[in-house]
Amino acid sequence: MEAALDMSMNVIRDQSDDIVVMLKSLANKDRLVILSHLLVEELNVSEIEEKTKILQPTLSQQLMILRKNGVVSTRRAGKQIYYSIKDQRFNTILNRFSQFYQ
């Protein structure tokens, strides 16, 4: 048991910068709501705004942070930019969150 704990501590120590970025990406209500919708489907900005009720200036700011942190990816189709979750670890984390609150 102690060996497993030591290994977990080593992983946390070695990956602490990445873990902090992931937690900061989730530590905002708007980003958490955006990601929850993207967990279900790829959406363009207008669809995200409609589903989340987050106003455009705030939405753009939060999407920029998610892109900068490597959480979401974009795809252009004509004039529309579609967002999806890039880092699949967020799928796992968000699904676990939903299990805690059911």
Confidence of residue 53 (pLDDT cuts 50, 70, 90): very high
* Residue 3 pLDDT > 70: no
Q: In angstroms, rounded to a whole number, what is the distance separating the alpha carbons of residues 78 and 18?
A: 34
Count: domains in the chain: 1
Please report which residue ranges of 27-76 form alpha helices under DSSP H. 29-40, 45-52, 56-68
Query: Does residue 59 register a pLDDT over 70?
Result: yes
Domain that holds residue 12: 2-100
Provide the mean pLDDT of the chain: 90
Rounded to whole angstroms, how far apart are CA atoms 75 and 83? 7
Is residue 28 pLDDT above 70, yes or no?
Answer: yes
CATH of residue 75's domain is 1.10.10.10
